[in-house]
Structures are given as structure tokens and as C-alpha cells.
Amino acid sequence: ISICRDLPNIEVITFSVNGISDLEPLNQCQNLSELYLRKNNITSLNELFYLKNLPRLRVLWLSENPCCGSDPHHYRMTVLRNLPSLQKLDNQAVTEEELSQALVDGEEITAPPGRRSVENGCPESTESSAAESTMETESELLNFSLEETNKIREELGMKPVPRDKFSSFSPRETDCNRKKRNNVLNAILLLMKELDAEGLEVVQQTVGRRLQAFRKKELQEE
């Protein structure tokens, strides 16, 4: 998720099912309008502090995170009190009545949470990590990421990625590296929407050179 610090103009972010617990990298994304974060490891609603100054944020999907707690009313009211510009929360439209009630029942968040040692949504701790208790199985992670990636590719008029190619990672690769790669891929595909024909040609030429370099390296290793 740290890649978002370098994407201030991005408008839609999908990071669902990624073990993310820190939203601080999003606080510079001033054009962000839709943010999908379901099934991550966001433990505190204080993370909303980093979203409060995003003027265009209209859609947020935060359900199935630990921060939702056992009281859905308190959770929803707290989110809406701090993000009153939302039009949809967790795939449910926000009403004027809810926004008024949120001023009474919601909790005002005025400070960021205590920071944990996390980078790119991958906890440094091992078996005892709370993130692991909420992580999806590898198969479900890959299915979800593949679905999200192919949705973006479809919008760009590109062919979907076959599952055998999408999931053909080296066995030595960690879950963290795999998720980071998927996030970078999704970010690149989203940003391609902002390019004109000249920009896309530059991307095509750059990709071509990179592929040639990789193929040359593979031949040398063989």
C-alpha cells in the first residue's frame, strides 16, 4: 500500500483481502473517490484519521475488518461521523438520517492510531501475528486478486489473465511479495486509464525493452 504515496491522482483503489492494517499512505490521494478495503487487518477505526482530508472520497468498503467490531451500528455511525461525504459505505447507500444520527451516536476521531511495524500490509511478526488469524487461504486470495485484476483489464479493453499465468509464482516467493506484486499490477492498470495515445506508446516501448532484457537474462542463465 505504500505505493499510494507516489500516486496522488489515483481515483479508485482496490486493496481487498491483502492483510493491510495501515492507511497512512492514502492521506495524500486527494483525488481518491472509491476505496475498497474489505477483509483486511485494520484493527482500529482510528485509521479513518488518514481518510478525513480526502475531499472526493464517496465510496468506502471496510466491512470484514477487525475494526468493525461486534456493534455494527456504532461502527457505521463512527465511520459516517468522520467521513460525512460518503455516499456509500460497505455497498449500502448513506442516508441523510444516518448522517444526522452519526453526530450523536458516532465517535469523533481526532488523532491517528499508535503505529505498528508494518510495511506494505505485511506484518513483521510470525505465527503469533493477529493478521494471520484473519488471512484468507492462498487459493481464495488468488481467486479474489485475479477477479479484481481482470475487471480492471476489461475496462481497459484488455484480455483477461488466465489463472495459470496469474498464479504461476515461484514457490520461494512469500505471500507478502505476491500480494505486493498484485497491488503494483493493479495500480499500473488503473493509472493507464489516465494516459493518452502518446503516453501508452511510451509504456509499450518501455515494456518491450524490459521484456527483451528479461528474455536475454533467461537465455544467459540457461
Instruction: Compute the mean pLDDT over every residue in the chain, rounded to the nearest whole number.
Output: 77
Confidence (pLDDT) at 208: 81
Go through 115-149 and write b for each residue having 16 or more CB atoms within 10 A of its CB, e for each that does not.
eeebebbbbeeeeebebeebbeeeeebbbbbbebb
* Residue 89 bridge partners (DSSP): 60, 92
Which of 43-57, 96-110, 140-154 is least confident?
140-154
Cα(first)–Cα(last) distance of the chain, in Å?
35
> Which of 27-31, 133-137, 168-172 has the largest mean confidence?
27-31
Which of 73-87, 111-125, 153-167, 184-198 is least confident?
111-125
| pLDDT at residue 86 greater than cutoff 70 | yes
CB 11 within 8 A of CB 36: no
| pLDDT at residue 130 greater than cutoff 80 | no
Give the cell for residue 191: 493509472
Confidence (pLDDT) at 115: 55
Confidence (pLDDT) at 54: 93
Mean pLDDT of 35-48: 92
**Helix 96-105 / helix 72-82 crossing angle, nearest 10 deg:** 100
**Helix 175-192 / helix 138-155 crossing angle, nearest 10 deg:** 10
Mean pLDDT of 176-198: 71
| pLDDT at residue 136 greater than cutoff 50 | no
Q: Which residues are CB-contacts of 2 (< 8 A; sequence separation ≥ 6)?
A: 25, 119, 120
Confidence (pLDDT) at 189: 73
* Residue 122 bridge partners (DSSP): 119
